Structure 1
Amino acid sequence: MLYILVIFLPPLAVLFTGKPLKALLNLILTLIFYVPGAVHAAVVVKGHYDSKKRG
């Protein structure tokens, strides 16, 4: 579900992982240029899912 948000609304996907400061950074990256924001969001979401698997 979050990966769909990564494509359409990257800052919202990062915010749903529970990291508001990273969501703010992602908003800035997305506003500057969409691709860095989407890549950053994908990395954050993947890290979120990886940490849930381990814990």
Structure 2
Amino acid sequence: MAANNVSSTWNVFLYLLAIILPPVSVFLKRGLLADFWINVCLTILGWVPGVIHAWYIISRHEHTHVKTN
């Protein structure tokens, strides 16, 4: 079947979640890829770098496609 664009409501939720738990929002957006581990390291080094990186990942992958069965 055709892939659908992720709703903007989901991205808003991820932006808000990134303020509280940056690695969780990156995990929900990208999975256990390098972006997640980079975000974990940045969050350990300081909360602000983790949030900025999470927002960057969410905005960079704004048009992520989700496969539907």
For this structure pair, what is the TM-score category when the shorter chain's length is used for normalisation? 0.7 to 0.9
Q: Report deviation, 1:18.
A: 2.0
Alignment of 1:1-55 (within 5 A): 1-20=13-32, 21-49=34-62, 51-52=63-64
| Structure index of larger Rg | 2
The percent identity for this pair of structures is 33
Aligned positions, number: 52
The structure that is helix-richer by fraction is: 1
In 2, Cα distance between equivalents of 1:12 and 1:24: 11
- Runs of 4+ displaced beyond 4 Å: none
Please identify which structure carries the higher strand content: 2
CA RMSD, aligned part only?
A: 1.6
- One-letter amino acid of the structure 1 residue matched with residue 61 of structure 2: H
| TM-score normalised by L of structure 2 | 0.67
| Higher RCO by CA contacts (8 Å cutoff, separation 6 or greater) | 2
